[in-house]
Structure 1
Amino acid sequence: MSVKKYEIGDTIIDCKPLVHTIVNNKKRKVCDNCFVSITGQQQMIYECSGCHHMFYCSADCLTLDRRCHQLECHIYEPYYSPYLEEYMLRLMLRLYLMVINDKDMSLQDKCYEIYNGKVRRFNDMETHLDLISRDNNRMKIFDYLCDNFVYYAKEFSFILSRNLLFTLYCRYLINHFKIIDHKVNSCEIIGSGLYMKASVLNHSCRPNSAVTYCGSRLILKAIEKIAIGEDITINYCDLEVRVEMRNKHLLKYLYFECFCPKCLSGDQYIDFDVFNKIKYLLKQESRQELPNWLVLNVLTDIFIKLYHQIYNKYHPNLITTLIIILSHKLRNKCENIKHLNDCISETRHRIELIFGTKHAIYRQFIECLEEKHVFHL
């Protein structure tokens, strides 16, 4: 429960990951520590001089990541195979090595103050050991993981405890966050990480807060006014599907069903058939070389009304969709000027509250106003 009030746009959590890795296709493209781009305008890439498989945007990032990387560097140096391109395996290797080398328990005993004023330790994170041990698909993945670790332990002389590895594997499955590069056209996954302060957050299909990222930093913003004593929630699953599909996902991967007011109502205010039909028609019409602007305007206005039934008006997904809608309206030279100005003003306001003016989303918004880019659903 929250111990303070939050206004829309207030930052509730701003934290770095305890452990994280980038996805395969981002290697050499983003910094292995802070996840900022190291391509394009970047003049220099700092490479680990030991294994030559870690790449950083600055000497500071190289130094900051050394505490974790020095435990794995000797493995990467002589042995680097396609198996280690799998980011979950890389994260598990890094996490396991951190734990078995945690002689003074500084990792496992460290207290992290969370939003409700309480403290959280590494071992407080949920595992669902029994449930995962009965999940055949996840146990097959664990067996594959364990086979790799047997080789690493033998080849690079560290003790392998299957029980410890399984506990860490379960802790990862239940608590990890996919680190997102927020863009207008897509939310691209660039990595995965464990965040101690954010791991305590509960799920709702009508959340009052939302996660954004600045590189590898997780930033939790209030998207509704939050009162003292109110639980702070985020969404764990895709909200653009029916309650049955949402709960199927939650049961399969996180072992619970959602009983938030939205789910209990059976999505009675949302017609997903109409929503999906309008979304399809909008996508088709917007990609025409010469769109029918009258049809497109009607579709965009209907779509946004339906979208507001699914998402809170300050949810990041709705904000990025607003930019796409705005780009359609800007292409229509016959659009009502007052309506267009209201749309621009409202979109700018939401971006500034949730993302800020230094985020890539804001730059894409400005490019949209300058008509440098046309965005599509």
Structure 2
Amino acid sequence: MAPKIERFVSPGKGNGLRATANIQRGELVYSAEPLASCVSNKLARDVLTLVFLFRCETLLRCSQCKMARYCGTTCQKQAWSGHKRECKCLQSLLPRYPTDSVRLAARLIFTVSEAHYLSSASEQKKQGLSQLASMLELYLQQELLQESKSALPPSCREPLSLMAKVTCNCFTISDGELQEIGVGLYPSLSLLNHDCRPNCVMVFEGTKLRLRAVRDISPDEELTISYIETLSLTEYRQRQLQDQYHFTCQCQQCDAEDKDTLLLSGEKTKWRLLKEALPRLEELKAKRDWHTLLESCSHLLSTVGDEVPEENLYKLRMTDMALDASIHLGHWKEAVGYGQKTLPVYRMYYPDPHPVHGVQLMRVGKLQHYLAHIDEALDSFKQAYQIIKLTHGDQHPITTDLLMKMEECRTEMNQLSSS
């Protein structure tokens, strides 16, 4: 454990981590490399297998499994020792690919390491895990023929048990802008308990996890993170936590009487139109049909107008979708308009310093900069930097990028004033 934290029994939660000394807001509490990790299937074409970085250019593909991606032959050679066993397994299932959790469980077995504790699951959950376990056995068939099953630790011998532990204890690995790129197991941080308004956040550099405090933490105070996206209705958060992690959250946000009032503000008959349209819009986004998505979002947002305020959950989600679609279509003015509408709402729902608010400010700043709105861009970048330097740290690439953006804006402003 790190010098300022220790394991303890958290009342009503089981094991947890707490502070042994004062921890300041923005302080790096703990760093960890994964015991096992893998790039998400849906992003495999765009993410480097070795270092978990997005690349826009075309990447080299493993000629055997057709999945792993590399920036060159040197990169591929460096990754081979960790990829060769997975490569055989992937080949055995072609043209199908196993789920992320199955691949992660297999990688854990390849490291011959212990998995972590699992709470009891419902019958429906066990049935789903059983299907994953069957896929894991099929996936590993060739590899397990080559080594005795008894050579594995007990927790890795039973596929159902292993899948349950992996799905309950894995973390989503994201890039600096909080976009999902993979999953990983970090046993030392699996003791962290959940809170819908946590005092710590996790940020990644490649696969390296960094835990940072977002509030001042006193000695003996428990360290908490959020297991899920917290900007959702209490009922949904509770159901997601129960289904995946098998507990009922009793944090202050979940117990507050007016917890969902703002999220559901506005004319009900109007915001229900947005709610009912969201599943179809999510499908359009998954298919990358940006033109239809933007048209649909624009029409619905204009239909509900001011009768549904910007802080309504469904309106915010639709505005965010319109922002994404506008960016992908190169409609920069529309994108700035949608982005600026989200900022006051993000500030309200993600109290500073929160990485989600910081990243949104940065996105809007980049759009303003592209459109030569230099003063506005500099202001957005400054606000983003005040958040990101605390949530990501001074040395994170995204923090460095923000400093460069601010310097570019200042240089351009000086050039304009001197011309």
Q: TM-score, normalised by structure 1?
A: 0.71
Deviates more, 1:251-260 or 1:85-94: 85-94
Using the alignment, how far apart are the partners of 2:378 and 2:68 within structure 1? 47
Instruction: Name the SS of the counterpart of 2:30 in structure 1.
Output: strand
Query: What RMSD, in angstroms, separates the aligned Cα atoms of the two structures?
Result: 4.3
Find the counterpart in structure 1 of residue 401 from structure 2. Answer: 363
Kept after mapping to 1: 8 A contact 2:65/2:87: yes
1:243 to 234, 243, 249: 234
Cα deviation code 1:288-337 (max 9, x no counterpart): 776699xx59x947x434323322311111111122344566678899x6
Q: Superposed, which structure 2 residues align to 1:76-87 within 5 Å?
A: 76=89, 79=92, 81-84=94-97, 86-87=99-100
Kept after mapping to 2: 8 A contact 1:314/1:354: yes
1:313 to 344, 348, 352: 352
Find the counterpart in structure 1 of residue 51 from structure 2. Answer: 34
Kept after mapping to 1: 8 A contact 2:102/2:132: no
Find the counterpart in structure 2 of residue 345 from structure 1. Answer: 382
Q: Superposed, which structure 2 residues align to 1:28-177 within 5 Å?
A: 29-37=46-54, 40=57, 66=81, 68-69=82-83, 72=85, 75-76=88-89, 79=92, 81-84=94-97, 86-99=99-112, 107-108=113-114, 122=115, 125-129=116-120, 131=122, 135-150=126-141, 153-154=144-145, 156=146, 158-159=148-149, 164-177=158-171
Kept after mapping to 1: 8 A contact 2:172/2:183: yes
Find the counterpart in structure 1 of residue 191 from structure 2. Answer: 200
Find the counterpart in structure 1 of residue 15 from structure 2. Answer: none
Aligned-pair distance for 1:51?
A: 8.4
Cα deviation code 1:134-156 (max 9, x no counterpart): 633333333333344456534x4
Using the alignment, how far apart are the partners of 2:219 and 2:74 within structure 1? 43
Corresponding residue pairs, total: 334
The answer for unaligned runs of 5 or more in structure 2 is: 1-17, 265-308, 410-419
Find the counterpart in structure 2 of residue 21 from structure 1. Answer: 38
The answer for unaligned runs of 5 or more in structure 1 is: 100-106, 109-121, 372-377
Instruction: Name the SS of the counterpart of 1:227 in structure 2.
Output: coil
Using the alignment, how far apart are the partners of 2:332 and 2:53 within structure 1? 35
Using the alignment, how far apart are the partners of 2:106 and 2:318 within structure 1? 43
Cα deviation code 1:213-244 (max 9, x no counterpart): 11111111111111111111111111111111
Kept after mapping to 1: 8 A contact 2:382/2:406: no
Deviates more, 1:72-81 or 1:309-318: 72-81
Q: 1:78 to 1:212 in 2, by over 3 A?
A: closer
Kept after mapping to 2: 8 A contact 1:33/1:62: no
Aligned-pair distance for 1:202?
A: 0.9
Using the alignment, how far apart are the partners of 1:169 and 1:87 within structure 2? 11
Instruction: Name the SS of the counterpart of 2:187 in structure 1.
Output: coil
Using the alignment, how far apart are the partners of 2:55 and 2:42 within structure 1? 13
Kept after mapping to 2: 8 A contact 1:28/1:38: no
Q: 1:158 to 1:55 in 2, by over 3 A?
A: farther
Instruction: Name the SS of the counterpart of 1:92 in structure 2.
Output: helix
Structure number with greater CO (CA < 8 Å, separation at least 6) is 1
Question: Alignment identity in percent?
Answer: 19
1:180 to 174, 178, 185: 174
Cα deviation code 1:66-96 (max 9, x no counterpart): 3x556x2683597462345543332222222
Match status 1:9 vs 2:26: yes
Instruction: Name the SS of the counterpart of 1:135 in structure 2.
Output: helix
Find the counterpart in structure 2 of residue 111 from structure 1. Answer: none
Q: Which one has the bigger helix percentage?
A: 2
Using the alignment, how far apart are the partners of 2:188 and 2:137 within structure 1? 28
Using the alignment, how far apart are the partners of 1:145 and 1:17 within structure 2? 20
